[in-house]
Amino acid sequence: MSADRNAAKGGETATVTAAPPATRAIVMRVLGTYGTIIVLVLMVVVFSSLRPGTFSSVGNFRNIFNDMAIGTIVAAGLTVPLVAGDFDLSIGYIASFCGLLVVGLLSAGLAIPVAILLVIAVGMAIGIVNGFIVTKIGVNAFIATLGTGTVVVGLNYAYSGGIPQQLTQSREFTDIAIGRIAGVPHLVLLMAAVLVVLWVILNRTVQGQHIKAIGVSPESARRAGVAVDRSRIVAFAIASTCAAIGGVLMASNLGSGQVTAGDGFMLTSFAAAFLGSAALKEGQFHIVGTLIGVLTVAVGNNGLAMIGAPIFTQFVFAGSLLVVAVALGGIGRRYRIG
């Protein structure tokens, strides 16, 4: 009997000892899966309490979605090579260059559809070059896209002389960004359209499945018959195409082409994508997650502006959020795999 009691006590001790690691694993898995959503909800609650009736108004959230639309398009494009396991550091520079280029082409007398299509083609071509350098020459994606991004900056200054390009007469072009349909801003509708297209590509096409397979294991994907190099090039092309679209919409929204207008997209897009990897899918990059990530960044910036925080706090917030995002994404991957 005494032995049984001792055994029982030993079992209890073992259970108590094992409980903390199990609890920690549950907490970490929750953070890795829902961490971004928790952060988003907390920010909404805090800013709503600090600015009751203003921050949480329908009008303010309409403004938030309108303001985040262009950044969402760029970040969603970046998500595609991230799914394949590749980084693209050139997206912000591509957006800046394409914004300047479309204004220059319109000022030269090209029709709006022609100018836009040419600029998007230029953006896509840069992405193809990125993919070629990474897959055929074998340069690390981080270095390759940083290099091509720097070249694009040079092209930007060569084309503009470092001077913003003003759009004089083209109400039709500016209406692309500032117009509304049934009260819904064009930018929000365009954002939704791009998100749907990218979601379908990644989740309902063979190419999307190939990109996902490469992200898990390029060698296994290659052995399974996936054209790994081609799929990675496609992923880079999609990212740069979305960056070009973002640049065009930015120029339409501003009514001009600004030399560095899109450069900041790199930080915010990576922050959004990594935040999105800690939203619903345990450390995996995905389009819906990126949308949640961009919304988290946008809500934070909007709330800080609404309470009158100094402008530098937005940069501190964005940088801190990127660190938190990478940590949450890492937690999600670790505990999903474990």
Name the helix (H) or strand (E) containing 310.
none
The region of weakest confidence among 89-93, 100-104, 122-126, 270-274 is 270-274
Tens digits of per-residue pLDDT, 178-218? Answer: 999 998 999 999 999 999 999 999 999 999 999 999 999 99
Taking residues 240-252, what's their average pLDDT? 97
Instruction: Tell me the backbone φ, ψ of residue 19, rounded to 5 degrees.
Output: -65, -45
Taking residues 56-75, what's their average pLDDT? 95
Residue 114 lies in a domain: yes
Structure token pair of residue 117 = 């299509």
Residue 260 lies in a domain: yes
Looking at residue 4, its pLDDT comes to 47
Confidence of residue 26 (pLDDT cuts 50, 70, 90): confident
Confidence of residue 27 (pLDDT cuts 50, 70, 90): confident
Q: Which domain holds residue 157?
A: 31-337
The secondary structure of 227-259 as a DSSP string is: -HHHHHHHHHHHHHHHHHHHHHHHHHHHTEE-T
Residue 111 lies in a domain: yes
Looking at residue 326, its pLDDT comes to 78
Residue 56 lies in a domain: yes
Residue 323 lies in a domain: yes
Average pLDDT, the chain: 89
Looking at residue 17, its pLDDT comes to 46
Angle subtended at Cα 239 by Cα 237 and Cα 244, rounded to the nearest 5 degrees? 90
Q: How far apart are CA 285 and CA 83, in angstroms?
A: 6
Q: How far apart are CA 126 and CA 244, in angstroms?
A: 10
Question: What's the total number of domains in the chain?
Answer: 1
Q: How far apart are CA 44 and CA 312, in angstroms?
A: 21
What are the distances in angstroms from CA 64 to CA 67, 69, 123, 300?
5, 9, 27, 10
- How far is it between the farthest Cα atoms of the chain? 97
Confidence of residue 328 (pLDDT cuts 50, 70, 90): confident
Tens digits of per-residue pLDDT, 263-308? Answer: 889 888 998 998 888 787 777 899 999 999 999 999 999 999 999 9
pTM of the model as a whole: 0.88
Q: Assess whether pLDDT exceeds 70 at residue 2.
A: no
Residue 22 lies in a domain: no
Percent of the chain with pLDDT strictly greater than 70: 91
- The more confident residue out of 4 and 123 is 123
Residue 11 lies in a domain: no
Bridge partners, residue 184, by sequence: 181
Residue 262 lies in a domain: yes
CATH code, domain carrying 104:
1.10.3470
